[in-house]
């Protein structure tokens, strides 16, 4: 079992550029979560999907952030345009929604630095 | 200027000691709780979970205790090892079925 796969592992970009983070959930899992972790705010849920449908995006900071899940095995988190305050580690997690989502399995994260 | 960040609680123990990490949660309606371990440069890793209809659950070297009266959760690690050094997070699930809310974390350092 490969676990949750995220790419890239590290991203350094300049302010104003578009950033796309990618996630492949564990095969068979039907819930996917995007988190952001910073020293200031800890671990925050941005958005989660169930069966490829966004369920709760209340944690998405602003319109510069968007997430998609075109199929069960792939999701993207896009920031356009990026700003220095977006610098953080972004985690993707997946779980099996068996009536109620339980244990979430986290990927290794993408460390984003916006200069 | 100086950045202000979370000041995580820290716990420092000697190898072989037992460790107790505490967590206060906020939502009395939360029905499910998880402890995660996060090592440097890695994503959080599941340790143990407990449902709100239980007050204690044991795993291998770990025990989670839940006190709903005071909304308190604790993680006990027996015979702590250097490999246990990490940041430990508690998480609670409230009304939204899929949504976990994470605590700020506790840094555990185990000295050989």
pLDDT, one tens digit per residue, over B39-70 is 999 999 999 999 999 999 999 999 999 999 99
Q: How far apart are CA B75 and CA A14, in angstroms?
A: 42
pLDDT, one tens digit per residue, over B81-98 is 999 999 999 999 876 666
Q: Which two tokens stand for residue B48?
A: 């143990």
Q: Is A80:B77 a contact under the CB 8 Å cutoff?
A: no
Handedness of CA A98, A101, A105, A107 (dihedral sign): positive
CB pairs under 8 A between A and B: 64
Query: Which stretches of A5-115 are assigned E, i.e. beta strand?
Result: 5-7, 10-13, 19-24, 31-38, 42-50, 53-56, 65-71, 74-79, 88-95, 97-98, 100-101, 105-106, 110-114
Q: How much of chain B, in percent, has pLDDT values that exceed 90?
A: 74
Contacts with A97 from chain B: Cβ below 8 Å: 98
pLDDT tens for chain A, 115 residues long, are 689 999 999 999 999 999 999 999 999 999 999 999 998 888 999 999 999 999 989 999 889 999 999 999 999 999 999 999 999 999 999 998 755 557 889 999 999 999 9
Among chain B residues, the shortest Cα distance to A42 is held by: B104
Which residue out of A9, A29, A102, A107 would a mutagenesis test of the B interface target, given it has the greatest number of B Cβ atoms within 10 Å? A102
The secondary structure of residue B97, as a DSSP letter, is T
Q: Following CA atoms B91, B40, A109, B52 in sequence, which dihedral angle do they give, to the nearest 10 degrees?
A: -10
Which residue out of B4, B53, B98 would a mutagenesis test of the A interface target, given it has the greatest number of A Cβ atoms within 10 Å? B98
Q: What's the pLDDT at A1? A: 63
What is the nearest CA distance from A77 to chain B, expressed in angstroms? 17
For B98, phi and psi rounded to 5 degrees?
Answer: -95, -10
**β-sheet bridge partners, residue B16:** none
């Amino acid at each position: 079992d490969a676990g949750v796969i995220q790419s890239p592992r590290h991203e350094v970009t300049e302010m104003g550029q578009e950033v796309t983070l990618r996630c492949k959930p564990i095969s068979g899992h039907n819930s996917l979560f995007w988190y952001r972790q910073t020293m200031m705010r800890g671990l925050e849920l941005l958005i989660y999907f169930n069966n490829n449908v966004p369920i709760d995006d209340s944690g998405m900071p602003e319109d510069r952030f968007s997430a998609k899940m075109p199929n069960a095995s792939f999701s993207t988190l896009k920031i356009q345009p990026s700003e220095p305050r977006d610098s953080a580690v972004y985690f993707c997690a997946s779980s099996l929604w068996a009536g109620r989502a339980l244990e979430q399995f986290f990927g290794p994260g993408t460390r984003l630095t916006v200069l | 200027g100086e950045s202000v960040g979370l000041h995580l609680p820290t716990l420092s123990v000697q190898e072989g000691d037992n460790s107790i990490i505490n967590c206060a949660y906020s939502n009395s309606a939360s029905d499910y709780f998880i402890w995660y371990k996060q090592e440097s440069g890695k994503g959080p890793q599941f340790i143990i979970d407990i449902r709100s209809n239980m007050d204690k659950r044991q795993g291998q070297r770990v025990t989670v205790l839940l006190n709903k009266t005071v909304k308190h959760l604790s993680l006990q690690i027996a015979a702590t090892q250097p490999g246990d050094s990490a940041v430990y997070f508690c998480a609670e699930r409230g009304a939204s079925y899929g949504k976990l809310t994470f605590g700020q974390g506790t840094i555990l350092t185990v000295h050989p």
